Amino acid sequence: MRKKNANKEVREHYKRVFDLGCVISRNPQCCIHHCHSGSMTARYGNKSQSQRGISDYLVIPLHPDLHTGDNGIHTLGIDLWETLYAPQTELLDWVNNLLDYDIYELALREKNGFNTD
């Protein structure tokens, strides 16, 4: 079960992801999107429709319009959004390549219950 408040490492990760700017528009104004469903199901077998995704580390930065606005993933639905823009898995790979640590390793560690505080 997730902690109600993200631990220090997760908060730092969010800040680093946020600082990348939107993965689609490269606009510096962005918010954090927890990846779930759509292409994530094919890669991880995540059948959950939870908007929190499968890990606090598997997040991408999206401009507010591409997140919850008229063109947003939560407005259009994940399948249509991924068809129009890009699969979440590809965007996660982009984020992972820009950071100097492996988000997939951190997600696995989180899943296995390792406390990162």
66-77 pLDDT, tens digit per residue, is 999 999 999 999
10-30 pLDDT, tens digit per residue, is 999 999 999 999 999 999 999
pTM of the model: 0.84
Work out the pLDDT band at 47, boundaries 50, 70, 90: low
H helical segments located in 1-87: 8-18, 39-44, 64-67, 73-76, 78-84
What domains can you pick out in the chain, each with its CATH number?
8-106 (3.30.40)
Contact 24, 63 (CB under 8 A): yes
Work out the pLDDT band at 45, boundaries 50, 70, 90: confident
Candidates 97, 102, 110, 80; CA nearest to 23 is 97
pLDDT at 116: 44
Candidates 83, 30, 73; CA nearest to 53 is 73
Those residues whose C-beta lies under 8 Å from the C-beta of residue 102, and which sit 6 or more positions away, are: 96
Candidates 53, 56, 51, 60; CA nearest to 85 is 60
CA 70 – CA 75 distance, rounded (Å): 6
Interval 55-76 mean pLDDT: 97
* 3-state secondary structure (DSSP) of residue 14: helix
